Amino acid sequence: MIFHETTLKDAMIIEPQLIADNRGFFSRMMCRDEFTQHDLISDFVQHNMSFSRNKGTVRGLHFQRGVHAEAKLIRCTRGSIADIIVDLRGDSVTYLKHESFVLSAENHHMLYVPPGFAHGFQTLTDNTEVFYPVSAAYTPSAEGGLRYNDPLLGIAWPLEVIDLSVKDASWPFLQQGQSPIF
């Protein structure tokens, strides 16, 4: 695996090395030793999958608070997504900064999202599947979110947003000078 730093502190793009032959290819998608060498969490206690029918669907921006904060390892297994993360750690040099990454079934790239980040994505194709293990079990009382169109974040989604859950449409906007979430 090749680990690429991003502009956001502690977040990484992980590029699997494909070993190909006439049958197809083989690749490791996670290795505890390599994750440890890069100071990444490798204990994933829950594995999630989402399916979105329509191109332009947005899911997120989600996070878990406190001891329930989770690292995520995002991989698109069918179709493609624009994956967006926002650093919510008040002591981070990249606090409230965001970055976008294209993850697809074709490029096999994965995004490591550290605890203390909000995470969301927009589907770039119809019939998209996303698989992501997380380091903490989902805890409804620790759940939080940011509005996808928060003017303070200024996220430029690549497509018109055509589908969004009621919950994701109702997350509060950030306020200038607001106390950090983490």
Q: Give catalytic residues, as residue numbers.
A: 62, 132
CA 17 to CA 5: how far, in whole Å? 17
Query: What are the CA-CA distances from residue 3 to residues 44, 80, 140 (Å)?
Result: 18, 20, 32
